[in-house]
Chains A and B, each alone.
Chain A
Amino acid sequence: MRIHQGISFRTAYLLTGSAVDAEEAVQDAFVKAYRALGRFRRGAALRPWLLRIVANEAHNRRRSAARRERLALRATQDRPGDAVPSPEAALLAGEERERLLAAVERLPDEQRDTVTCRYFLELSEEETATVLRVRRGTVKSRLARGLDRLRAELGEEDE
């Protein structure tokens, strides 16, 4: 359980937008997962199966955009060996990340969830499909639409 609770909590937090709701969602999900273990297909990967239950619980508690806790970025830490950016460059990079994050938060729920699973949680397309209970093709199309929308919001050209 402890092996999976970190990723489960991150998933629930990013999907619900609330630490309190995320904690409840993960607790309920783990209890349900234990009780549903008989339906788990032997040989299948445990993580996406578990995250799928977590995501379902999280969706039941999803907060409206206005009530979501705003995602924040960690204070930038200089890594050893990195060239120290000028204060102007650091400020610019920070602002750019904030803009990108704000644009992700404004995505429609389905696209934001898909972008969150794929890039923030670093799940594969296959895992994302399992977790969000959609087909892999749907993951691809939601990602494509989400990325297009982000580019449009940020005023960037197609790559």
Chain B
Amino acid sequence: MTTLEQRLAALGQELELPEAPDLAPAVLARLESRRRPFPWRRAAALALALLALAAVAAFAVPDSRSAILRWFHLGGVSVERVETLPPAVERAQAGGLGRKVTRRQAADLVGFRIALPPVEGSPPVYVLDDALATVVLRAYGHAVLLSQFSSSNQDALKKLAVGKTTIEPVTVNGNPGLWLEGGPHTLTYLARDRSFRERTVRIHGNVLLWLRNGITMRLEGPLTRSQALSLARRV
């Protein structure tokens, strides 16, 4: 660096610049108001980079009234806190999961290997829109759903609108995750059929979300936090 360049760099340090205002609430409010026409499907994996750190900070201060508390991203999932849940279809746990195929066929359809905890035999895999793969497992005496989809898959993005559910950050084998427990919440799945429909279903079980090798994993069922984590660690 020449002397002039050094002087310019030093000058930059001495500039009196206006204080940056906190723009997050205004930006989030604008995104909220435009949310309907917004193409959700594409955003999730990368929004993680933008918001994940802020989300972690927000978790650390549960009483914070910051707008960021209303919105979290993890891989291909967006979690939003809302006061009123949107109208939704009540779903039986295994309903609407898609067509039933073998594990190998499922891998071909979704483009990644279907990860499972050690299980007996080869349980069928349900695939929805060639994007979302779900397996019904028996664990701790309950039927639980293990869903997985590529975090970068533009066709598969879920949004969980959370009412009074508690949201807690967790780690699964060193990977980031979220534990959602408590009241009912809705799951909105955007299916790509040229028009990007939203399907909203209401869920009563607890949910564990985590990332695994670029895949967003989602465990849903009447498990406790420690049971869900224990199962997830074995996937």
B83 close to chain A: CB less than 8 A: no
A83 close to chain B: CB less than 8 A: no
Considering residues B3, B38, B43, B57, which has the most beta carbons from chain A within 10 angstroms of its beta carbon? B43
Number of interface residues, chain A, beta carbon within 8 A: 47
A155 close to chain B: CB less than 8 A: no
Q: Are B27 and A31 in contact (CB under 8 A)?
A: yes
The verdict on A115 contacting B23 (CB below 8 Å), with A1-B51, A3-B54, A33-B50 known, is: no
Q: Are B23 and A119 in contact (CB under 8 A)?
A: no
Categorize the interface residue count of chain B: 35 or more
If over half of B's interface residues share one DSSP class (helix, strand or loop), that class is named, otherwise mixed; here it is: helix
B42 close to chain A: CB less than 8 A: yes
B22 close to chain A: CB less than 8 A: yes
Q: Are B11 and A100 in contact (CB under 8 A)?
A: yes
Q: Which of A13, A42, A104 contacts B8 (CB 8 A)?
A: A104
- Inter-chain contacts of B18 with A (CB < 8 A): 9, 13, 19, 22
- Can you name the residue of chain A whose Cβ is closest to the Cβ of B66? A2
- Can you name the residue of chain A whose Cβ is closest to the Cβ of B50? A1
Q: Are B14 and A5 in contact (CB under 8 A)?
A: no
Q: Are B68 and A119 in contact (CB under 8 A)?
A: no
- Inter-chain contacts of B154 with A (CB < 8 A): 38
Q: Residues of B at under 8 Å CB distance from A?
A: 2-5, 7-9, 11-12, 14-18, 20-24, 26-27, 30-31, 34, 38-39, 41-43, 45-47, 49-51, 53-54, 57, 68, 152, 154
Instruction: Apart from A27-B27, A40-B46, A122-B9, list 8 A-B contacts with CB within 8 A.
Output: A5-B24, A22-B18, A37-B42, A37-B46, A37-B50, A38-B39, A97-B11, A120-B8
